[in-house]
Amino acid sequence: MSMDIGSLCASSAVWSSSLLLMHIASYLPRNFIACSLRLVDKHSRELFRGQDYTTIHLSEACSIAVFEQYWEKPEATQKMSITQRIQLVCLTSASGVLENLQVALNAADCAPVEEMMEAAAAAGSLQSCKWLRARGCPWGKALAAAGLGGHQEVFEYLMLMGCTCDDDALYAPARGGHWGLMEWLSLTRPSRNGKVHIGKLMAAAAEGCDLNAFQKLHDVWLGGFTGLLRATRHQLYGPKQSAVLVAAASSPSPDWRAKVEWLEAKRYPRSPEVAAAAASLPDGRDRLRWLQERGYPMGLFNSETFRKAGRAGNFPLVQYLLQEFVLYNFTRDAAEAAAEAGQLDFLKALHALCQLDSEASRSLALYACRSGHQAVVAWAVQELQYDASGDPEALSAAAESGNVALMAWIWARSQLSSGKCMEGAVKSGCREALQWMEEHGLLMKGDLGTMYYIAARNGDLATLRWIRGRLPGTLPEGLISRCVHTSCPPSAIRWLVELDDQPDWLTAELGAALHCVHSWLQLQRIPSLTTSRSSSTAAELQPQQLEEMQQALQAELEDLVRKLQLSPSLRMEPARVHLAAVHDDEQWSCSGD
């Protein structure tokens, strides 16, 4: 079969069509376009230009080769603070690509912290949750995050692994509007006392569910004889009814007005808390006006109302509150929150409306310094006459942000410094900021014990190594005990223990032992948790999770045994410590029933 040359050329022209390529790209993941499609040829590179096509989103699956090429470079995290490095791991955990997660954790050079587990659970990434837990990552609020996102598979896994189901987790599916997970929870009732508090459930549903789902849930629990039988507390009165109406008025769902009207028809009382809660939303001014027209009492606005508005840059709301209710005593709260968030336009508008005094000016400038917002600090100096040159706290506050440009800007105006400057740089965890401090002769001003403790508390292994490289010698006395007593991340404590020539073994190892005992007790709960539920997912996952927990616990216990044998203060005989419980096949076996 032959093909006409003209037809072949026409076909090539079709495939090289920009319109066709754009149409194909609309069905592809964003990271695939950035990492692969735009690199095919010059035409593709020219076509897919701009931030929309060149940005790689860490929270989405990404080419492993591209990820490694960038994040395995030593300088990749040089300018990043510990907060930003943790955020790197959090975003990568949401992608579910374990190879990239390993690279990200190595690049961050920090201990696994609860924010990482929470991010993975919120994204519904079960594999990331398992991977992080195997490396000692604490649960944090992961169960609530999974419930809020409606990820039932992750929710069940976390419960089976012993993650505590507190009120935040129990009512999170309702707050997220996830009906299926709500029904599953209503059957299992996994809270400590097995009870569902109807007021909390209704408030959560009023916040997260649409009107139809909320009405259905309300009728199931509070409507008629069936509702009376199911509800833990058969009726809602006074403050509990008010809490439901508060949740409806502050709901992010587009039908929040309809929910408020429906509850009003049910004779739910109008309270001042309703307006105060509604003010926290981005459209708070419009909600307040609507509620005011319906006769809701106003007057419970407080500093938190203004702080939320300032943080979000919501000047129309603040202007409305000031003009309608003359709440000028809260303007400083709004200014500080806005400065911390870098909301310069908000600050300019607020200052034009009501002059900020010198005390408020200094306070907001220091908030901006700690967050690294140089433009806000410069505006405070120029427009508010903030005296950065005479403020000894300015440099230490800027050091906490890790913003070297801001630190240099302040240093050029004033060289006032103290030990807090170095401690602030350690708190930031930014290696570039630490090096700047060293270059300007401020390294020795910081207290060594405080610097080590701050880095350990943050789980910042990179900063611990940096300090050790510049300030060798014996660790400060009592440092390890302090870290254990204040629940610093285990990996940071382990690093300090291995570094110290004569560590406080007894205190450190007792803390490690308690951690192992807690893990063992959680493991014992799994059979009872499984038998108390009818979930098929629980039955399928149990053997695999028992094996995973057994392996993790065995590694922890072996590490503990090794350190106890080395401990000069305990002088334990190796024969006294054994792993019989771990190797007891009967105890860890999983029946098919």
Looking at residue 588, its pLDDT comes to: 27
Exposure b/e, 243-260, CB count within 10 A at least 16 = b? bbbbbbbbbebebbbbbb
For 480, the enclosing helix (H) or strand (E) is: helix 479-485
Query: Which tens digits make up the pLDDT trace of 489-520?
Result: 999 999 998 887 665 555 555 555 555 555 55
Provide the total of helices (H) and of strands (E) in the chain, helices listed first.
Answer: 40, 0
- Final residue belonging to a domain, choices 457, 472, 487: 472
Cα 133 from chain centroid? 16
> Are 512 and 468 members of one domain?
no
Inter-CA distances, 300 with 278, 312, 434, Å: 11, 20, 45
Provide Rg for the chain, Cα atoms.
Answer: 29
Q: Which of 427, 413, 341, 338 is CA-nearest to residue 378?
A: 413
Alpha-carbon distance of 242 to 94, in angstroms, equals 37
Q: Find the domain containing 23 and state its range.
A: 8-54
Mention every residue, 6+ apart, whose C-beta is less than 8 A from residue 483: 453, 456, 457, 492, 493, 496
Question: Of 20-34, 115-129, 130-144, 415-429, which gets the smallest average pLDDT?
Answer: 20-34
Assess whether 527 and 577 both reside in one domain.
yes
In a domain, residue 583? The reply is yes
Residue 206 identity (one-letter amino acid): A
DSSP-assigned letter for residue 574: G
Q: What's the pLDDT tens digit per position in 136-154?
A: 999 999 999 999 999 999 9
Q: What is the pLDDT of residue 519?
A: 53
End position of a domain, from candidates 429, 449, 472: 472
Confidence check: pLDDT of 193 > 60: no
Q: What is the mean pLDDT of residues 257-277?
A: 96
| Residue 66 domain flag | no
Rounded to a whole number, what is the largest CA-CA distance in the chain? 89
CA distance 248 to 204: 9
C-beta separation of 491 from 522 below 8 A: no
Helix H segments across 50-150?
51-54, 64-71, 82-95, 98-108, 114-122, 126-134, 142-149
pLDDT of residue 559: 56
- Give the burial string for 411-423 (b: 16+ CB within 10 Å, else e): beeeebbeebbbb
| pLDDT cut 70: percent of the chain above it | 79
> Residue type for 101, please?
L
Quick one: pLDDT band at residue 587, thresholds 50, 70, 90?
Answer: very low
Report pLDDT digits (tens) over 433-466. 999 999 999 999 999 999 999 999 999 999 999 9
Q: Tell me: pLDDT of 43 over 90.
A: no
- Residue 326 located in a structural domain: no
Give the Cα separation of 350 and 358 in Å (integer): 15
CA torsion through residues 277, 281, 284, 287, sign? negative
Reference 544, options 133, 130, 136; nearest CA is 130
In a domain, 462, yes or no: yes
Residue at 350 is within a domain:
no
Is there a contact between 131 and 98 (Cβ–Cβ < 8 Å)?
yes
- Residues 303-325: tens digit of each pLDDT: 999 999 999 999 999 999 999 99
CB 139, CB 114: distance < 8 Å: yes
Q: Which two tokens stand for residue 391?
A: 């403020």
- Taking CB atoms within 8 Å and a gap of at least 24, the contacts of 476-484 are 476/448, 476/449, 476/452, 478/449, 478/504, 479/449, 479/452, 479/453, 480/504, 480/507, 480/508, 481/507, 481/508, 482/453, 483/453, 483/456, 483/457, 484/508, 484/510, 484/511
Band (pLDDT 50/70/90 cuts) for residue 338 is very high
What residue type is 221 in one-letter code?
W
CA–CA–CA angle 78, 84, 88 (5° rounding): 95
The predicted-structure confidence for 357-405, as pLDDT tens digits, reads as follows 999 999 999 999 999 999 999 999 999 999 999 999 999 999 999 999 9
| Nearby residues of 113 by Cβ (< 8 Å), 6 or more positions away | 86, 137, 138, 140, 459, 489
At 9, is the pLDDT very low, low, confident or very high (cuts 50, 70, 90)? Answer: very low
Instruction: Break the chain down into helix, strand, coil percent, rounded to 5.
Output: 70, 0, 30
Q: What's the pLDDT at 591?
A: 26
Angle at 544 between CA 63 and CA 519, to 5 degrees: 100
267 domain residue, yes or no = no
395 in a structural domain: yes
pLDDT surpassing 50 at residue 1: no
> Number of folded domains in the chain?
3
Average pLDDT of the chain to the nearest whole number: 84
> Does 558 score more than 90 pLDDT?
no
Does 584 share its domain with 528? yes
Q: Which of 181, 188, 189, 194 is nearest to 148 (CA)?
A: 181
- Tell me whether residue 538 is in a domain: yes
Residue 156: alpha-carbon gap to chain centroid: 21
Contacts of residue 108, Cβ cutoff 8 Å, sequence gap at least 6: 77, 85, 86, 88, 89, 462
Domain final residue, candidates 424, 455, 472: 472
Residue indicated by tokens 């948790």: 529
Residues 218, 198: Cα–Cα separation, whole Å: 9
Please tell me whether residues 512 and 453 are part of one structural domain: no
Q: How many CB atoms are closer than 10 A to CB 69?
A: 12
Give percent of the chain above pLDDT 90: 62
What is the distance between the alpha carbons of residues 372 and 363, in angstroms, rounded to a whole number? 14
Q: What angle do CA 136, 140, 145 make, to 5 degrees?
A: 120
